[in-house]
Amino acid sequence: MKYGFIGVGNMAQAILEGLSLGDMLKGREFFLYDIDKNKTAAVAKKYNLNQCKTANEVVSNSDVVVLAIKPDQLSNLLTELKQTIQQNQPVLVSLPVGISMKNIEDMLGFHTPIIRIVANINTEVFQSITSLCGNEAFNTEKIHLKNDIAQLLESIGSVIELDEKYFDIFTVIASSAPAFVIKFSEALAEAALREGLPKDTARKIIAQMISGTGQMLATNSPQAMTDKICSPGGTTIVGNIALTAAGFEASIHHAAEKCMERLCK
C-alpha cells in the first residue's frame, strides 16, 4: 500500500509519529511533499520515507493521498493536480476544516473516492478523537483502502465514523472545545492562586483532574457522576448552582453557536 502526504505540518507529523510508534509504517510505502523543502527533507529523514519534488509526484506514486494543507490552499492545489488525480484515481483523504467532499468534487470537476477526516490537537499525545466519512465513489475495489485508513488513524487515538452533516458540530466539540477546556482550567488555576496555591502546582492538579474525569465520562453517566460528587448541602452543589446562575451553560452554548457560524461562512 502506498500513501502520500501533501503538506507535512503539525497534523501530518502527528499522524506519522503515531504510525511510527505503532509500527504501522512497515508494509506501507510513503511519499511526502511540502512547499517547505527543508521541512519535507527533515520529516522524510526522520521516518525514512520518500521525499518528492512536486505534489504531482506524490499523486503519481500513491494509492491514498492525504491533503494536509490549509483550506485556502486547496482550490489551487486541486487545479494543479486535477489531471494526475483523474489518471491515477487515488483515494483522497481531506484534512482542511470546513471543506466538504462535494466542495472537493466541484473543484476537481469529476467524481473520485474521497475520505474526509477531522482530528484534534490531542494527536500530539495520541489521544485524538478523529471523525471519518467517505463519499459514494467507494466501490468493492476501493473499500479496503477506507478500512486501512481507519486502522491507521487509530494509531493517533480513536476513530468515529459520522455522516458528513455532523462534521461542523464535531469540529466544535472535538477540535475547538479543547481551547474552551483550557480557558476553564486557567480560570480554576487563577482561583487557586487567589487562595495562595502556586499557579504551576494548580495547573498540574487541574490537568490530572481533567484527564481522570474524561476517562470516567467515557464509561459513566454524567448525571450519576455528578450525583456522586455533590453531597446534600455540600460544597460542590453550591458551586454548581453558582455556575448556572453566572450563565455557565449559556456561555458554552453561545460559544458553540459562534463557532458554527464561522464554519458555515
pLDDT digits (tens, 9 = 90+) for 185-231: 999 999 999 999 999 999 999 999 999 999 999 999 999 999 999 99
pLDDT range class, residue 176, cuts 50, 70, 90: very high
> What is the pLDDT at residue 237?
97
> What is the pLDDT at residue 261?
94
Q: Where are the domains of the chain?
A: 2-162, 169-263
Spatial distance between the Cα atoms of 196 and 192, rounded to a whole number of angstroms? 7
> What is the pLDDT at residue 74?
96
| DSSP assignment letter at 175 | I
- 140 pLDDT higher than 80: no
> What is the pLDDT at residue 43?
96
> What is the pLDDT at residue 8?
96
CATH number for region 2-162: 3.40.50.720
Mean pLDDT of 32-50: 96
The domain made up of 169-263 has a fold known as ProC C-terminal domain-like fold (1.10.3730)
2-162 and 169-263: identical CATH topology: no
Where residue 27 falls (left for φ over 0; alpha for ψ -120 to 50; beta otherwise) is left
pLDDT in tens, 28-39: 999 999 999 999
Q: Which of 107, 98, 99 is nearest to 80 (CA)?
A: 107
- 103 pLDDT higher than 90: yes
* Count of helices and strands (H, E) across the chain: 12, 8
Q: Which residue has the cell 517547505?
A: 36
- 18 pLDDT higher than 90: no
Helix (H) or strand (E) holding 68: none
Mean pLDDT of 230-244: 96
Q: Please, what is the average pLDDT of the chain?
A: 94
pLDDT in tens, 146-167: 888 998 899 889 999 999 999 9
pLDDT in tens, 246-255: 999 999 999 9
Q: Which residue has the cell 480557558?
A: 183
